[in-house]
Structure 1
């Protein structure tokens, strides 16, 4: 059997990868700066618990538009040129970064502007997420897709390493410098997407009403218990154990390391995830994928628990690195199963469902962390989340035996996906 071609040998995929890489650096830099500015402004008039709640509301502000728009964004990704969806959403992010940069430079920044930027983030991600996910399989051969997922994850994870660190350092120099850098990076991301040539677009199913096609994406996930298990496990584990929203609290009031320390802490999970993704790009996972995902989520919960009780900066950083590596295993397995077990005509809608759960686990998880922190304090919120992630994994291992039965990414007969309304299943 011929060795699959490496995705980086394909020019369109290289442009796609570079766009995602630079865009992620910019988003990560903006996110850490926005969180720090919100917390700093809030602490002028509020206590730690109340300010932590506002950090959670930043995540909630991103989740609401994504939640409301997801039912249609997947359909859009299956009906409109996916390149143009990414181009337009990147333009929105570029304008948002430039606006915040100007307001910071003019000393007119407010909580309203910061929360408005969070809403713009949510709208952009709602449309760009399914389009990005559905676009990648159009750029590489099928047998190269697992490697493409790994190296695409590298772009995202390395971006999460560089972004917070760059954002924290540039903010320490001058806040508007961080936004100016983000604006330039979004410009590069936009230019790279324009370099991608025409890609196959699934034919529009004219015999389906739009509402029926939207529902079809959710039904497809519901009927495929293996995909359903991977999506929901990640949803509840990260929803409960999401600690990133509280990093400004830990950096300022618990570990006392300031904005530069915040940038390093925020990069911790990205370091672990990128290292794991690089490993998978060289040595793709081939055996016992379901069991490895279960163990990875348990390790993730333990690492978050350790971070929650730590009072040492080095230990907190190590815990976040381990959590990021474990989370990357879960991401790798989930994305590989979704992309390889979904026909191209439905990838946008299925990816939208997946993105909704990811956003629920991330942004809604930030809201949950902020709410719990306002009731239990930041340490109590993180500890409860870590224990919750481990508990959910044990429950899912019993509810979904399909996870333990998944030995590889190939589709075994007993896990075959039911056809949907005449759509051919690969």
Structure 2
């Protein structure tokens, strides 16, 4: 599988862009600020439904625009090709299309074009806050677990509605009838939150179990010495993982938290507060692992995800190496390049020619794209479109004047 053409409209810093790719290695070279990372980020969004760089989709839209569109022509075999499209809306639901067909939810597109991105932020999967690990878990789930994206979307919507109700209940001076109605509503939203939360939590537990074995094996291979790298799921409410426990019992636990939730105006437990624990020889990696060991764990986690996607979907994901080489020492740079060179399509971003590892261009087969030239071409095309629109408006004005003169005569 590989993307042969990517088209962007009002995505991040790109008002319009069309760029063609080939199988194998493509290097996007350009100074910081030109938008090379935005190009590969668009592939991540198309693939997983989200970006590791932001927590919401609004920053993905060019400032002042109502929506952004990502379209990719994807070659899935010798004679087959499919066009996938997602539209990110500033307001309302994000949508998708396949081969220009009927409008779908964006979640129906997620996972169709699998990709795995290696970025400078990857070390934070070990040392950073839980939100980054949840983001990785959600992207992995969207690629590996059927229905995961839909459950996640529902959980986020219900959590938002429930939090708004908790804040309303915490306001002083509310009429008694209004508070009683809000409490009844809280029971309803809590029931829905439990139902979708249980499904999401159990899916995450299964996902971690699926990744833990490959992660530990790959870490040992990369480290070159026997160390046990572990991966455990840390849900905010462990009782959810008790498959024998009925939902009414879980509901009673939530009810005990109502006073605290109302006082704080937020959901105190649920999938939005889950975490993943990475350990090295039984110790928490974020506290005891060295900087190099954290990088190796992060690489092993991404490679484990790649292996599982390949196994489950039967295709090799697109590999994105986004400005990672400046962060890696020579050993890890070689490890990630050796891995990447075996894949169907690899997109590498670098700031300058000197940042391109020599191994990435061995054999002379790598394609190098100058992002500055892409940007200049996009600006020229935009200027031409503006000129055409201005000319069309001028012609319409002239035509209207002629019609008016004719009417008067």
Q: Hey, which of these two has a bigger chunk of helix by percent?
A: 1
Higher RCO (CA 8 Å, separation ≥ 6 residues): 1
Larger radius of gyration: 2
- TM interval, shorter chain, is under 0.3
Structure-2-length-normalised TM-score? 0.24
Structure-1-length-normalised TM-score? 0.23
Q: Hey, which of these two has a bigger chunk of strand by percent?
A: 2
